Amino acid sequence: MDFQLTEEHQMLIDSVSAFVQKELLPHEAEVEAKGEVPKELAEQIRNKALEAGFYAFNMPEEVGGPGLDYVSQALIERELSKVSWALHVYVARPSKILMACKGDQIEEYLLPCVRGEKSDCFALTEPDAGSDAAGIKTRAVRDGDDFVLKGSKHFISHAGEADFAIVFAVTGTYELNGRQRNEVTAFLVDSDTPGLDIRRGPVCVSNRGYHQYELFFDDCRVPASKVLGEVGKGWTVANDWLTAGRVMVAANCVGQSMRAMDLSVAWAAERTQFGKAIGKNQGVSFKLADMVTNIRAADLLTLYTAQKMDLGTMTDGDAGMAKLFASETLARVTDEAVQIFGGMGLMDELPLERLWRNARIERIWEGTSEIQRHIISRELLRNVES
């Protein structure tokens, strides 16, 4: 087993890290204070990312992306996550689900997203369908050459800035093991489609400036040509994206943990109490030791899982383990970092309190910790039962 990154991987890390330091971090405090990313700044970041070749880094070469392996993508995510999602979202990664585009959809949606001319949002979650995604109630009824959508979505990140939404709606039912289940279809819905109302949602304490939205569909008419994939095959289209996304969330958590760790080490070395640096006290030094050990384990698990994706051997359980361990490591690391900083750890003049706040959402989105444990244990039991 070779645990060494290649020279190309290290060059990639250095390049993205430099980009974050120069183009993103200087704006973080202002965005946190205002709760907004000015349009001109968003455009500036997007253009710089395009110039640097980081934009759409998750897309394959055949559609204009760089064709990076998953390990490289995880390393990029790790570095970008050292700044709030409010900023690094503009170093955009189009939803990989768009690779299911066909015909005119390729020129209308896929390629413009890769070129930075359009952006998407992923509209699955509903008020009564969070972890139970199969319980969505938004309906799409066929009417001639169109589908008519009725229902709502919430917690849809970045929807106010997106040009279109990838919307999941029930288009029928089928019977499985004596139970009726929803047949779900994915649609490409332009943000200016009549009958679609996009509103700002509740303010989240995590990632200020990275806004959540609610989408309301009131007899929203969408041409059948906007079906992404096949009618009734929405989960088939979504599952690969959702599973791979959990590994990238794990990489994000590792990067945030690393930033909190660096801040903690610097503070422990500089802050003095009782005539010596607080890092000389076992109560602090042992915290640092546990923090860095857990971060190392989360990093290795994440990169190992990304490598399994490259080899085509990753399972849902593998992705679940990476997301679960990395997100819970981040929670422990940021909490201990606040403890090391003491009262200053909760003051908004330092970045630590925002890392602590931002960390909380990582155990919820892309599947809660409980859902990841369900996926992991289900896979274990299935292997025994089979």
* 269 close to 277: Cβ distance less than 8 angstroms: yes
For residues 205 and 174, what is the distance between their CA atoms, to the nearest angstrom?
40
Query: How is residue 6 annotated by DSSP?
Result: P
Handedness of CA 58, 367, 117, 87 (dihedral sign): negative
Mapping DSSP to helix (H, G, I), strand (E, B) and coil, where does residue 55 land?
Answer: coil
In order, the DSSP letters of 88-131 are HTTS----GGGGG--THHIIIIIHHHHTTS--EEEE--BTTBSS
Please state, in angstroms and rounded to a whole number, the distance separating the CA atoms of residues 183 and 191: 24
Number of other residues whose CB lies within 10 A of the CB of residue 2:
5
**The tokens 């403890």 sit on which residue?**
339
Give phi and psi for 289, each to the nearest 5: -65, -45
Residue whose C-alpha is closest to residue 325's, from 345, 296, 353, 283? 296
- Chain centroid to Cα 259, Å, comes to 18
Who's near 295: CB < 8 A, 6+ residues apart?
254, 257, 258, 261, 329, 333
- 366 catalytic, yes or no? yes
Angle between helices 369-385 and 316-341 (to 10 degrees): 150
Amino acid letter, 355: L
Tokens representing 289 are: 């030791």
- Active-site position among 107, 366, 370, 379: 366
User: What type of residue is 222?
Assistant: V
Catalytic residues: 366
